[in-house]
Amino acid sequence: MHKAIIIGAGRMGSGYGLKPGQHYYTHAKAYMDLKERVELCGFVEPDRSKWGFIKETWDLPSWAHISGALAEYKPDVVSVCTQPLQQTQLLESLCGVVKGVWCEKPYMSTRTNWPFKLQIDYCRRFDLLHQAITLAMTEATDKRLVVMAKKDVHTVCHMTDLARFWKARLDYVDTPNEPGAYMLRYKSSGDWKEIFFPAGGISGDGFMTNALANLLDSIEGRAPLISPPENAIESEKWANEILKG
């Protein structure tokens, strides 16, 4: 049984600020779903105003500083759900301490050779529909991902990573006043085909659990990481180019 802590108890870490029923987006819910494999011991969150929510929602303790949580629980796995600019220092502090880290995007470090398994949370890589399309695209050519969405850092990062996952060319149309959507166009057996994805395009609510399960499998030597840092670095290079215009 692995032990885990979450650093950062905001929306993605704990569900703070999410509407009821949306907690499947969170790291905490994924740990609860896999409680037979990993025990979530608590949170590191310097903002004490969130501690009541954490206790009420997840019945877990909170620490103001990472050193206390590491000494108390000696976790094998850590979720890094802080602001991006805080990531690198935190990751460096976990070297030689943990076996695996599940880190939110965008991934701000340029380092790939960490002494632990590092999973970057690009959620579409773990969605079963997107994975099935990846497998079905092995014989397809001229793949193009056409995105119609607002051009903010989070959406652009997700879409550039999806284009790399599908090995598709990316066409990005900035539509700040419209609901986001995207479309995969590809050529198969000489014919052009299209798959349309309204809104976020996610097919179910299991993608976060799948991401954590893959990290645990990798720690245990049973599978490669689906979203390692080297992919994130390349995806975010594309994203930065798009954001610069």
116 and 30 co-located in one domain: yes
Same domain, 215 and 188: no
Q: Do 37 and 212 contact (CB within 8 A), yes or no?
A: no
Q: Is residue 15 part of a domain?
A: yes
pLDDT at residue 12 in the model:
92
Q: Name the phi and psi angles at 207, rounded to 5.
A: -65, -35
Lowest mean pLDDT among 62-66, 133-137, 160-164: 133-137
Whether residues 140 and 70 fall in one domain: no
Q: How far apart are CA 78 and CA 75, in angstroms?
A: 7
Asked, for residue 238, whether it belongs to a domain, the answer is no
pLDDT of residue 42: 96
How many Cβ atoms from other residues are within 10 Å of residue 155's Cβ? 18
The answer on 77 and 155 residing in a single domain is no
- The count of structural domains within the chain is 2
3-state class (DSSP) for residue 165: helix
Asked if 151 and 239 count as a contact pair (C-beta separation under 8 A), the reply is no
Residues 80 and 98 in one domain: yes
Instruction: Print the domain residue range for 112.
Output: 2-123+205-228
Tell me: do 114 and 166 sit in the same domain: no
User: At 189, which CATH number?
Assistant: 3.30.360.10
Query: Does residue 222 share a domain with residue 171?
Result: no
- Pair 50, 34 in one domain: yes
Is 86 in the same domain as 106? yes
pLDDT at 121: 94
User: What is the predicted pLDDT for the residue at 187?
Assistant: 86
> Residues 170-226: pLDDT tens digits?
999 999 888 889 999 998 878 888 999 987 888 778 999 999 999 999 999 999 999
Average pLDDT value for residue range 36-41 = 97
Query: What integer is the mean pLDDT of 124-140?
Result: 88
> Computed from CA positions of residues 139, 142, 147, 151, in that sequence, does the dihedral angle turn out positive or negative?
positive
With CA atoms as reference, report the closest residue to 196 among 122, 142, 140, 145.
Answer: 145
Mean pLDDT computed over every residue of the chain = 91
Tell me the percentage of the chain whose pLDDT exceeds 90.
68
In a domain, 153, yes or no: yes
Confidence of residue 60 (pLDDT cuts 50, 70, 90): very high
Query: Is 241 among the domain residues?
Result: no
117 and 44 in a common domain: yes
Q: Are residues 29 and 104 in the same domain?
A: yes
